[in-house]
Structure formats: C-alpha cells, structure tokens
Amino acid sequence: MRHIARKRFGQHFLTDTAIIDAIVDAIAPQAQQALVEIGPGLGALTLPLLARLPESSRPLTVVELDRDLAARMRQRAHITVVESDVLKVDFAALAAERGQKLRVVGNLPYNISSPILFHLLGCADQVQDQHFMLQKEVVDRMAAEPSTKDYGRLSVMLQWRYEVEHLFDVPPEAFDPPPRVDSAIVRMQPKREPPQLDLALLQELVATAFSQRRKLLRHTLGRWLEARAWGGSFDLQRRAEEVPVAEYVALAQSL
C-alpha cells in the first residue's frame, strides 16, 4: 500500500537516486560502526546504507514516529526500530547498548530540526559524527561565520561543540512531495577536546546576546552580566553577530 506523506510529521520523501548516492558516499559507512537513522521514511536512505554495511555492523537502528512506517521497517531484516518521538530518545543509552559511539544520519523533519540538533548536543560525546538533510537556510545558519547575516544563536551553540561543514545543496524536486524550500546536507563532527563549560549557562548567555540583534551588547548582555556581578573584561560595544564563537565560550568559562 502506498504511504501518503503526513504534514503533521513534516514528511518529504527523498526520491532522487543521484542525491541518495551522494549522501551515502558522504557518510561512507564502514565496518564496526553503529549507525542510527532519524526518520527513515520509506527507506530511501536506509536501504542503500544497509547495503554498504557488513554484517558485523548490523543491525542499523532507525528512529521513526509514524507507526505505519515503523511497521514497514520492522518487516525488513537487519533493522532495529525505535518507534518514538526523536526528542524522547536517549542516544547515550543507544551508544551504551551498542558499546561504541554512534554515527547519526537522517532527513530531519524541518519543523523540529533545531530542537533535534539541541537534543543531540547533550550527548555529543557519544557521537562519532552526524550527517543530516536540513532546510538550506538552517544549514547556512549552522555553518555561518561571524559578522554575516546568518550568524546567530544556532551558529554559536553548534560550532563550540562541532566542526560544521555544509556539503551540498538539494533542490525541492528531489523529494515527493517537494518542499517549498531548498535543502542541504551538513556534516557535524564533535570536537575531540571541546572546551569545558556549563552548557546551560552558555545557552542562556548566547540567547541573551542575540535577543536584540540590532542593539549593542551593552543593552542586553551587559545588563545580564551586571546582574551576575561579573567583574571581568568583555567588549560590549559590539553587536552579537560580531563576536566569534571562541569569545562567547571564553566568557562562559570565566563565569
């Protein structure tokens, strides 16, 4: 029976075989690796990945919320299905179960892509790398450099922990049904020796800094620092997008 894409799950199924091959080549699955796919859909990416995996690296784990699609996946060999909202999945527990770091892949639902990225941020030490299909606008923000229009909270919160690489773009016609936006593939590799800091504190700091992008930081972050009676030195005569990731990290560490 043909599956009809469900809007409430943000379903857009990848159908372009050339794009699928390019994604699988970028992921380059190897023996003795634990792959987890978020939102396998009809298996457009799942099956080519599985074909590349030797038996020693099976099963491939998929996370699927749609019960009909989950049922379809259970009928296939060498696939373990986690039927759940991805935001409720304990990826650290999956890594412990497999006894190794995870390689996480997926065509993420565009309506909740940022929450998924932040959910995975909390277990980055249990991840080898991540390859995702996302809205191109989101990937542009993830990989943005300081002093550009795309640089913002998402850029800082991901780049302090990952090396973020925009691999290539994917047009709407590569999907069924086609989305109304361009898409892109991004690679995220957790840094081997990330800065030691309080993640919740960095999140609050960065959210405050970017809360009013057009104002100088003395109006936003400056007041936040004053409330904490912070006595250090930080140039507040800049706008939030002018501050490099490393300076936000250093400020969070000093606090």
Annotated binding-site positions for S-adenosyl-L-methionine: 12, 14, 39, 64, 85, 107
What 3-state class would DSSP assign to 193?
coil
Exposure letters 142-157 (e unless 16+ CB within 10 A, then b): bbbebeeebbbbbbbb
| Nearest Cα to Cα of residue 167 among 149, 148, 150, 189 | 189
What is the rounded CA–CA span in Å between residue 255 and residue 234?
12
User: Residues annotated as binding site?
Assistant: 12, 14, 39, 64, 85, 107
Q: At what angle do helices 199-209 and 245-254 cross, to 10 degrees?
A: 120
Pairing of strands 34-38, 79-83: unpaired
Q: Look up residue 253 and give its amino acid.
A: Q
